[in-house]
Each structure stands twice: as structure tokens, then as C-alpha cells.
Structure 1
Amino acid sequence: MAQEAQVRLHIYDAAEAPVSVILRQGPSKHTRMIFWDRRDDSFIDGQWTKHKVYLDRCDLSPDGRYFIYFQLNNRWKDASAGSYTAISRPPYFTALALYPQGDTWGGGGYFVSNTDYVIRTSDDNRDIIGRAPELRRIASDTVDPRSLCASFYSPRRFAAKGGRLYELTEDANEGRLIRDFTNMQFERIRAPYDWRNNEKKGLA
């Protein structure tokens, strides 16, 4: 099968800002996080992950600053317990908060505000990283579902087909091509906020 047919784009819009996160998936389980500023259609191509991301268990904070995702890494004996929910700063997967799950029955979460979020896991599962002190986990039974329906209004309409992103227009059958993400190759990228090397040097 051609590379073009293996690439899929999954878009998560911020509710209070004209920005989005794109998860570019393919080939196989390789996924890249990309930050999209819809005001000028500029992009920041971020980190890749080789582990499976559960696309229906992800969410972007209303201001677009943080991203929740659920991932399976199959490392059942390490601190992540083989699967986990994490919070990162787009367009990077490097976790600021990480909640071990240990299975794929639950996990993932969503933002209630720019600072409050819900994790779909046991209350006994605690954040093992603690690098997001400005954020607060809250219980799901304290959330009014009606408060989650707001979305940032944009007169523009978009569609993803394969690895291409289009703006839909009235006078075009397919739409205006914004960007083709098909021809991307895996590369290692370090998040600018990654503290791990600094800790080893005694700097964090």
C-alpha cells in the first residue's frame, strides 16, 4: 500500500483559541504531534512517538497550551505500568504529568478549563512526574457536561483526506490544499521543556 494511503490526520481544536493539535498517524503506529495556528495556517512540527496513541481518549485544553493523551507502550514492569495517561505541552509528547494505567480499559481524559482536567482512571492512580503544578485534577462527578460544549467559532471549514489538510470552499470540489503532511520521516526531537538530562546533571 502506498505511503499516502497509510497516513491519517486527526485534529483536536482548542475551544477558546484559533489553534489546533494535529496527530499525524502512519505508517503503522508512528504518530507525530503538530501544532497548527489557524490564524495564519502556520505549523510547528513536533515530536514523534512509536507507541500506540488512543485517538478517542485525547483532548486539547481550551487555550491550546496542554494536551491529554492515552498511550500503550507495553512496558508493563516499569513505572508507566505499560499504559498511561499523560499531559504534555504541544507539539511534544514529553509528559509533564503521567498517570499509570496498567491496562486499556480506561485511561485518557479531558479538560474542563485551562487549569482543571479529568482523568478516566482510579483516584488511586497518582501523577508520578509532577511537572504541571499549575494544573489540577478534579473528579468527573463535579463536572457539568453542559460546560464542555463551548467551541471557538470560525467561519472556515476544514477537512483531512489521507495526509492532506484542506480548507473547504464553495467553488471547489475538494477544497484548497493547506498542507500535505504525507512525506514525513521519523526523527528524534527533544522537547524544550524536557528536564530529564538536567536532573542527571543536578540542574533541576
Structure 2
Amino acid sequence: MTRSVPPRIYCIPAIQAPVVAVFRRGPSNWSHIGRWDLTAERYEPGAWLGGRIFPRRSDLSPDGRYLCYFAHKPSATWEHGEAYVALSKLPWLTALHAFGTCGTWTRGYYFTEDSGRDDQQMERLPIPYGLRSIPVVQFANERRRGWTEAEDSPPRDPKDAWDEHRNALMRKPQPNGTRVLCVESVGWAGGEFGVDQAVDGLNVRYSLESNGNLEPLDDLQWADWSRGGQLLVATRAGVLQMRNLEGDNHQILFEADLSTLEPNPAPAPAWAQRW
């Protein structure tokens, strides 16, 4: 009997809202988007794409409403080609704005809270955000969300144009708490260009620093803090959890098992098909 492979999961929290964009990959060559509502403690499944979405080259708007994603869909027949950047309403992928790229080496774009744009030929968006190219640096999404590079993180080699050849170490203090969440890259950052690599393209290891002790969190493939100090995680088994760390044990406040989801493409609702 063939054992099913757990899905790869990567998440992007909204900076100003209790909403998390969930990127799920699996089975092979299928991508799924979901919306994690932290206040309602609910997971809302959304779109399926018969192709690849690159989460570390995507972004969620500060208010948690809009998704800017970079995708590669070899079967695409539209004018933007098979590698493209698109804007949609979370958790759907219907493109409200899109443009083609030069291929999968594109860095992707992130939202800015102004109308500035890297490309002055790009049309203005009918939303209170602009778009800029994601910097070529490990953990770019995390850096915009309160993570900082640790003092003992290996420096980047000036000749390493794609920031691939080091094990960067990032830290983020717990809001309203004393713990520090740590993440270290332990694999080749450029692995996302391979078909069989993990969905986030970067092999990572999480740990929790508390009272001078470092607790490995080897069961996690993604983690971050909620604004209230709860630990948000995606386990390597494909489960989303919100954990309360107060006390001796980690209390699970919310859980959603995404491991059993199967591709089920469906049209986006009417509200997600217009600005």
C-alpha cells in the first residue's frame, strides 16, 4: 500500500488583520489556497490550480483581502503566458489584474501602502496599495512581518546573487510574551525551481527560545506568532494549529487537518470576480 505524502504548507499572515493566507501544495502539480480566520477560528477552503504557486514570491495585502501570487501553469492559454503574476481576492485565484513574466526566475511582488510601482508602465490598481518587486533575500516575507536576522546568522556573500548559499537564521519575539520564535534555512533556497521540491522552496527548521533554553520544533513546516502571542503553525503532517504556550504544555486552541483535501476546482463566487 502506497503511503500518501503529506502536503507542503506555507502561510502568509496579514500585517493589519487577523487573517492568514494558506498555500498548500499536493498532490503533485496541484496548488490550493485557503483563508485562515483567526478571530472566527475557521479555515475557509478556496481555489485549486492545476499548476504551481510560489508562496515565497507571493504576498497578502495588509488588510488580508487581496492576494498577489506568482504562478506557473504550463497549460495556460491566456495572453499572459504560463508564468505570471496575478492579483485576486483571498481565498480565490480569479485574476482581477495580471501580467506575464520572463519565466520562473521572476522574484514576485509584494504590497506597499502607497501607490508606488517599480514599473511605471504598470497600471494603477483600484485598491489602496501599490506593488514592488520582492527583494532577493532569504525570508523576504518574514522580514516584512517583524522577523529580524539573528546576530549569529551567517553573513551573505556579496557574490551570492540569489542568496542561496548560507543557512540564514531569523528571530521573532512573542507579542505580549517572553519567548522568541526562531527559524533557520537548512537547504538550498533555489530548490523551489525544481519540480519535486517543497512548496516553499526552502528547507527550514523551527525552534522556540525560552528562559535561555532552545526547544526544537521539528514537527513544523511553518510557524509565526498571532498578534495576541499564540503560536500559529502548520505541522509536517499537514495540520494547521493555533497553540497557547502558557503553562507546561502547548494547548491546541484551533486545528484544521488539510492533509485529506483532494483537488476540487470550482468557480470563484461573484464577489471574488470583481474589484
TM-score class, shorter-chain normalisation, is 0.7 to 0.9
What is residue 51 of structure 1 aligned with on the other side? 51
Q: Which residue of 1 aligns with 2:198?
A: none
Aligned counterparts, 1:182-193, within 5 A: 182-193=259-270
Q: Secondary structure at the match of 1:24?
A: strand
Query: What is the RMSD of the two structures over their aligned residues, measured on CA atoms?
Result: 3.2
Q: 2:111 touches 2:129 (CA, 8 Å); kept in 1?
A: no
* Distance 1:118-1:12 versus aligned 2 partners, 3 A rule: farther
Tell me which residue corresponds to 1:164. 239
Cα distance, 1:117 vs. partner?
6.9
> One-letter code of the match for 2:268?
A
Name the CA distance, whole Å, in 2 between partners of 1:71 and 1:22.
15
Which residue number in structure 2 is paired with residue 178 of structure 1? Answer: 255
TM (norm. structure 2) is 0.57
**Partner of 1:202 in structure 2?**
none
Looking at structure 1, the residues matched to 252 and 76 of structure 2 have their Cα atoms a distance apart, in angstroms, of: 45
The separation in 2 between residues aligned to 1:18 and 1:137, in whole angstroms, is 21
Task: With the length of structure 1 as denominator, give the TM-score of the two structures.
Answer: 0.75
Distance 1:99 1:168 in 2: 39
Q: Which has the higher contact order (CA 8 A, sep 6+)?
A: 1
Q: Identify unmatched segments of 5+ residues in structure 1.
A: 197-204
Q: Give the 3 Å change call, closer, same or farther, for CA 133–26 of structure 1 in structure 2.
A: same
2:3 match: 2
Is 1:153 paired with 2:227? Answer: yes
Percentage of pairs with the same residue = 25
* 1:71 maps onto 2:61 in alignment: no
2:22 maps to what in 1?
22
CA positional deviation for 1:172: 3.4
Offset of residue 138 of structure 1: 5.3
Aligned-partner Cα distance in 2 for 1:183–1:78: 31
* CA offsets 1:78-120 (integer angstroms, 9 cap, x no match): 411221111110000111110111312224110112x64756x
- 1:15 Cα deviation after fit: 0.3
- Counterpart Cα distance in 1 of 2:132 and 2:71: 21
Instruction: Describe the superposition over 1:155-177 as per-residue Cα deviations: whole angstroms up to 9, x where unpaired.
Output: 21122113111223444369566
Alignment deviations for residues 8-59 of structure 1 (CA, whole Å, 9 cap, x no partner): 2211100001111111211112111111110121121101011111121011
Aligned partner of 1:133 in structure 2 is 126
Q: Distance in 1 between matches of 2:254 and 2:130?
A: 39
Structure 2 stretches lacking a partner, 5+ long: 134-139, 148-225
Hey, which bits of structure 1, 4+ residues long, moved more than 6 A?
A: none
CA distance in 2, matches of 1:54, 1:133: 24
